[in-house]
Structure 1
Amino acid sequence: MDQGGAPPVFSASAELDGDHLHVVVTGEVDMATADTMLQTALREPARRVTLDLRAVTFFDSAAIHAVVRLAQKFPDALTVLPSRQVARVLEISGLGGQAWYRSP
């Protein structure tokens, strides 16, 4: 997506609804931003987490590592909603068949 030379804006926000945390991430998730995404998901005491990555435009190995750490922290309680770009990376990395993965 052409943004007139400006770098894509990364953001990660979380909203807690009872014991369910909904984390919305936008922009590029790479080694500079993956930890922020992870910490946003871990900041609130939740039993279930939905990681909404549908507005993510770039996703690298650091981002994959952060998602795997979340899956370990929330076994059977994590849902990942990927963008098409994220889905491709997760599928290529062999994670597309995980229970937490929801196809776009």
Structure 2
Amino acid sequence: MARFEAATSIDGQRARVAMSGECDLSSREECTATLMAAVGAAPAVVVDLSALTFLDSSGVHALVTAHRAALAKGGRLSVVNPSGMVAHVLDLTGVGELLQPSRAGKAPEAGDG
């Protein structure tokens, strides 16, 4: 089993959270805490999932919770680079579409989240 890891970097008004390994029930608290800290640190949060190999409902819940917190602060959380099973889970749940990066000049919609 690949251990879950998350690394955050902040560059001005943008935080980047790079996740790797498996995001499941055993890593739920660490995942949620990392995402919420990023939301608290910057209005724009980009979550890079390129090295994430597994995502279950606990991880999906953490992403949606952080997304809602970002919207409540007038910010935005998006995911980039999901692949394989992780991309499939995001697509199946509709969360992949919800957390797509905003197109340039397009603000998040009030109904998102």
Q: TM-score range by the shorter chain?
A: 0.7 to 0.9
How far off is 1:79 after superposition? 1.4
Q: Which runs of 4+ in 1 moved over 6 A?
A: none
Residue in 1 aligned with 2:20?
26
How many residue pairs align between the two structures? 95
For 1:55, what is the secondary structure of its paired residue? Answer: strand
Question: Does residue 65 in structure 1 map to residue 61 in structure 2?
Answer: yes
Structure 1 portions without partners, runs of 5+ = 1-6
Could you list the runs of 5+ residues in structure 2 that have no partner in the other structure?
102-113
Matched residues in 2 for 1:40 and 1:94: separation?
Answer: 22
| % identity of equivalent residues | 33
TM-score of the superposed pair, with normalisation by structure 2: 0.75
Determine which structure has the larger helix proportion and give its number: 2
TM-score by length of 1: 0.81
Correspondent of 2:49 among 37, 41, 53: 53
**Preserved CA contact (<8 Å) 1:8 1:28:** yes
